[in-house]
Amino acid sequence: MKRRGGVGHDLSHIRPKGSPVKNSALTSTGLVPFMERFSNSTREVAQDGRRGALMLSVSINHPDSEDFIDAKMTQGKVTGANVSVKMSDDFMAAAEAGKEFTQKYPIYSKEPKYTKKVEARKIWDKIVHNAWKSAEPGILFWDTIIRESVPDCYADLGYKTVSTNPCGEIPLCPYDSCRLLAINLYSYVEKPFTKEAKFNFKLFREHAQLALRMMDDIIDLEIEKIDKIIDKIDKDPEPLEIKRTELELWKNIQLKSKQGRRTGVGITAEGDMLAALGIRYGTAEATDFSEEVHKTIAVECYRSSAILAKERGAFEIYDSKRELNNPFVNRIKEAAPEVYDSMLEHGRRNIACLTIAPTGTTSLMTQTTSGIEPVFLPVYTRRRKVNPNDPDVHVDFTDEQGDSFENYTVFHHKFVDWMVANGYETTKKYSNDEINELVEKSPYYKATSNDVDWLEKVKMQGRVQKWVDHSISVTINLPNDVKEELVGDLYMEAWKAGCKGITVYRDGSRTGVLVSNDAPEEKENKNSEVVESRPERLEADVLRFQNNKEKWIAFVGLLNGRPYEIFTGLADDEDGILLPGSISKGAIIKGIDEEGNKRYDFQYSNRRGYKTTIEGLSHKFDPIYWNYAKLISGVLRYNMPIDLVISLVGDLQLDTESINTWKNGVARALKKYIPNGTIAEGQKCGNCGSDSLIYQEGCLICTTCGSSKCG
């Protein structure tokens, strides 16, 4: 990571919680402490402009997999990693049929040291619920990955797939690298958004071959850099026993780079390509066309790899006999027998060639939709602060502090291309109704990430996956009001369709997507009624944060899903707030004691389903923190926008380091509730200087350069 690399790490080898170990601890602590350690290491490395990215995975066979699934449901835990569960076909079948499933350790052992029978449907429902609620964990259909994997034909030679890169698009063996290149599919549409639009397959085939050749050149450049890193480590003055681990790491990476020459040719702008051809994303027609495009890439990249093998030599361990029964290779054989014959004669330059990555920053540069995804929104609204006394200023919104704002409409770049191609003005200020009419006339209508046919999208992913030898990074975007059952249906359909992995994102389950253009004022004022008399009971989120070296808890009382009050206290001190670790949400109960004093109790459902009340929390709050919490709660219940509340908290002039650290924890806790796409007024990107910052998942995201800042 310190050299700008992301890491995928599988935890399935760690002993289950309670297993005997031969050290002073006597028993294993299980998976979760290791998840936190690796996550924290990633966050530490990512300080001061470096980048850290981590994917943690575990097999569903592991007896602690349920703890892994729940780990990120606690606010503030495992924030430096994406998490995915490696699902087996046996588990999926057991979950579908409602049968028992046997977990074991070691996970693939025929004579395991530990077994555990579980209800597969119960764990499945937990995965579905957590994904619906928080967008994690993702799912990796591991048996499909291994069955389809070309590199796993060489598993006994060190190419056994164990995890994926941080975004999940390339399953990898130990020490191998994720290398990416994206072809802009929109650029092959001639006369886009017209009746004469067509896809130039001839040029596309030529460029697919060139892309693979470029990727092979990139491997040689990478090897040069690795050689320099090894040379630098060799020359470092530290003793060998100190630098041996890093040295051996890079020598292993060097070996894998030279031996397998793995590449990752992919695409971006799938959504824009289909729209430019007049094909609606999420239809059977779109799926058929996309499959043909990706079949073309697969054939031409494998053709190019065979040509390169003739010119430069095959990857060192190539053996056609090992690949005889591989499903992917046999599809290439059926689609292009001449390519297969060429591989038999000359070999292949690269052990695997293809992927589809998220291409987030890449799509910003190409001004297109990202990866295989549809457009998020063709039109959305942003807001900028204005001086109401300036001429030609239209004030659309005034906040509680009296600042004035003007709304303005942002159009997706290729939607503007459609407007130009069809004779619509691009400089006119359109009303919401006029914008809706435009969208309805365009090929983006009913083709956004929130309103495509989600099951058809999953089927499309499965069809395309058959022509991608690695994997596809895909997120199924869902509206906020979908039921949990739909997430389960999508996951199950993805398994049956032959997908290798899938993630869902339900709008609002995590903050940070751009908002739609539909009636923004109405949406913002939806919960604007001030409720001065506190309800007797409030639903609450329980969040955890660090105050210096102390563990603290924040209770955030919610009214209509919006923060209404916040109280904080110690979480691990005998005089503080001691709560069962499994609690994530309950109800704060306001009561009156015999002397007429207000008090706050906390009620939750324990593991047996009974309601338990922890009485008299009020006296456990430190008076200083209590007073500040009442101040913050006061502005919350009067509906000050959350980002402005956080700004207010940040501006509090407090005397001690402890209280200042506390207010930072409160600010981090409240960031969870900043509405999707909120503009960070008055702040500039530290990377490019732009003021185009929005909140996303509690982080500030620059929509100009794609950089992010959290914390």
Average pLDDT, the chain: 84
State yes or no: pLDDT of 544 exceeds 90: no
Q: How far is residue 365's CA from residue 426's CA, in Å, rounded to a whole number?
A: 21
Cis amide leading into 580 (omega within 30): no
- Per-residue model confidence as pLDDT tens digits over 166-191: 899 999 999 999 999 999 999 999 99
Handedness of CA 374, 378, 383, 386 (dihedral sign): positive
Pair of tokens at residue 77: 């835990």
Which of 36-40, 475-479, 515-519, 654-658 is predicted least confidently?
515-519
Q: Which residue has the higher pLDDT, 610 or 541?
A: 541
Task: Examine the pLDDT at 320 and tell me if it is beyond 70.
Answer: yes
Which residues 6+ apart lie within 8 Å of 160 measured at CB?
152, 173
Question: pLDDT category, 526, cuts 50, 70, 90?
Answer: very low
Most confident stretch, 51-60, 325-334, 619-628: 325-334
Beta bridge partners of 94: none
Tokens of 26: 């006597």
- pLDDT score, position 513: 38
Tell me if 568 sits within 8 A of 624, measured CB to CB. Answer: no
Over range 487-492, report the average pLDDT. Answer: 95
- Report the 10 Å Cβ neighbour count for 408: 12
Using the predicted structure, report yes or no on whether residue 48 has a pLDDT greater than 70.
Answer: no
- CB-count exposure of residue 324 (10 Å: 0-12, 13-18, 19+): exposed
By mean pLDDT, which of 37-41, 96-100, 650-654 is the weakest? 650-654
Write out pLDDT tens, residues 582-601: 445 566 666 665 666 666 77
CA-CA distance, 177 to 312, in Å (whole number)?
Answer: 21
- What pLDDT was estimated at residue 514? 41
Taking the CA atoms of residue 231, residue 236, residue 238 and residue 241 in that order, the dihedral angle to the nearest 10 degrees is 0
What residue type is assigned to position 588 of the chain?
I
Q: pLDDT by residue (tens digit) across 490-504?
A: 999 999 999 999 999
Among 83, 446, 170, CA closest to 281: 446
Residues near 357 by beta carbon (within 8 Å), at least 6 away in sequence: 167, 169, 180, 182, 264, 266, 371, 473
Mean pLDDT of 634-657: 76
SS3 content of the chain, % helix, strand, coil (to 5): 40, 20, 40
Give 574's pLDDT tier (boundaries 50, 70, 90): very low
Instruction: Read off the pLDDT of each residue in 366-372 and give the average, rounded to a whole number.
Output: 94
Euclidean distance between CA atoms 13 and 171, whole angstroms: 17
* pLDDT digit string, tens, across residues 696-709: 656 677 665 555 66
CA 327 – CA 556 distance, rounded (Å): 52
Are the CB atoms for 699 and 708 separated by under 8 Å? yes
The string of DSSP codes covering 227-286 is HHHHHHHHHSSS-HHHHHHHHHHHHHHHHHHHHH----EEEE-HHHHHHHTT--TTSHHH
C-alpha to C-alpha distance for 199 and 277, rounded to whole angstroms: 8
Q: What is the spatial distance between Cα 543 and Cα 577, in angstroms, rounded to a whole number?
A: 12
pLDDT surpassing 70 at residue 546: no
Confidence of residue 519 (pLDDT cuts 50, 70, 90): very low
pLDDT, position 615 = 59
CA end-to-end distance (rounded Å), the chain: 19
With contact defined as beta carbons under 8 Å apart, do 58 and 17 qualify? Answer: no
Which residues lie below 8 Å from residue 631, measured CB to CB, with a gap of 6+? none
**Nearest in space to 332 (alpha carbons), one of 309, 308, 304, 311:** 304
**Phi, psi angle pair for 284, to nearest 5°:** -60, -35
Paired tokens of 192: 């886009």
User: CA of 120: how far to CAs of 126, 489, 497, 601, in Å?
Assistant: 10, 16, 21, 36
Distance CA 676, CA 623 (A): 34
* Listed range (184-188, 236-240, 265-269, 631-635) with the worst mean pLDDT: 631-635
Quick one: 76 exposed, middle or buried, by C-beta within 10 A (0-12, 13-18, 19+)? middle
CB environment 560-588: b (16+ within 10 A), e (fewer): eebbbbbbbbbbeeeebbebeeebeebbb
Please report the beta strands in 197-238, taking only residues with DSSP state E, as ranges in sequence order. 198-199
Which is higher by pLDDT, 335 or 602?
A: 335
Q: Which two tokens stand for residue 635?
A: 């502005």
Name every residue whose Cβ is closer than 8 Å to that of residue 535 and which is 6 or more positions away in sequence. Answer: 559, 590
pLDDT of residue 389: 79
Residue 380 sits at φ, ψ, to 5 deg, of -145, 170
Mean pLDDT, to the nearest integer, of 47-52?
Answer: 60
Max avg pLDDT among 14-23, 212-221, 373-382: 212-221
Long-range contacts of 306-309 (CB under 8 A, 24+ apart): 306/339, 306/342, 306/343, 306/346, 306/347, 306/348, 306/349, 307/209, 307/342, 308/212, 308/213, 308/216, 308/349, 308/350, 309/343, 309/346, 309/347, 309/348, 309/349
> Do 89 and 39 meet the contact criterion of CB atoms below 8 Å apart?
no
Rounded mean pLDDT, 433-446: 93
User: Cα(678)–Cα(140) distance, rounded to whole angstroms?
Assistant: 32
Give the residue-averaged pLDDT of 302-307: 98
Measured N-to-C along each axis, helices 337-346 and 284-312 cross at an angle, to the nearest 10 degrees, of 30
